Amino acid sequence: MNKAEILIIDDEPQIRKLLEITLESNDYKVWQAATGKEGIIMAANHPPELILLDIGLPDKSGHDVLKELRTWYAKSIIMLSVQNSEADIVKALDNGATDYLSKPFRSAELLARIRSAIRRNQSQSIETKMVCGDLEIDIPARTVKKGGELLKLTSTEFNLLALLSINEGRVLTHQYILKQIWGMGAQSETQYLRVFIRTLRKKIETNSDKPEHIHTESGVGYRFV
């Protein structure tokens, strides 16, 4: 089996060294970047299985790097920060971080979180066929069945449903959904999204006035259940 590749983006050499030793001795392949810019380039050239990203970078804040990465990088990103910056956590997680770890950290905990994050990457690609109540979604075949009967969805509708269902249970922000489905330019076109959510609900919900699958989180986004 191939070693899973992990990219470390952190400006402190001793932290990078510590992470490198810990990770390589646990059979990961490690890549390193000292600045946000460098990290983004490395991730683009050679997308790793997981990124460890420090919040306090010299060139640009880790939050900005996170946002930039999240425009195209879908796998796990674990944020690292110094102690006592709880306010950063909610922000980072809102911007799409997978998890969060405060420095200094115990290596057992680091490894546990990395395993969990990588497992999540994989489950994303494995569970391509899912059953949610009366709904059956088959992503490779691009089909959706409700109560055994095939539904007719447009391409965009299907992409939207697939995105939501892969992230079952978690809230996806409007921004994130728009970026994923319509690309960078559409991030503020919330109205698009509403219209498509409407047509989707009409098709997949038994009663579209009382949606069971697609829940609205006012001010934030939508959640598939």
**List of residues contacting a second copy (CB under 8 A):** 74, 83-84, 86-87, 89-90, 93, 96-102, 104-106, 109, 124-126, 128, 139-143, 154-156, 159, 162-163, 166-167, 169-171, 180, 217-220, 223
d(CA 60, CA 55): 9
Tally of CA atoms within 13 A in the half-sphere of 32 that contains its CB: 15
Residue 209 sits in the site that holds DNA (CB under 7 A): yes
Residue 78, beta-bridge partner list: 52, 99
Contacts of the segment 211-220: beta carbons below 8 A, 24+ positions apart: 212/133, 213/132, 213/133, 213/135, 214/164, 217/171, 220/171, 220/173, 220/174
- Positions 28 through 87 that interact with DNA (CB under 7 A): 83-84, 86
The site partner of 15 among a second copy, DNA, none (C-beta below 5 to 8 Å per kind) is none
Which residue of 70, 208, 212, 223 would you call a contact of DNA, by CB under 7 A? 208
Q: Does 109 bind DNA (CB under 7 A)?
A: no
Please give the DSSP secondary-structure letter assigned to residue 186: G
Query: Of these, 182, 203, 212, 223, which contacts DNA (CB under 7 A)?
Result: 182
SS3 state at 130 = strand
Amino acid letter at 108?
A
Closest CA to 222 of 156, 171, 167: 171
Using CB under 7 A, pick the residue from 123, 154, 188, 206 that binds DNA.
154
Name the binder of 169 from DNA, a second copy, none, CB < 5-8 A by kind.
a second copy
**Contact between 218 and DNA per CB under 7 A:** yes
What residues make contact with DNA under the rule CB under 7 A?
A: 83-84, 86, 152, 154-157, 174, 182, 189-192, 194-198, 201, 208-209, 216-221
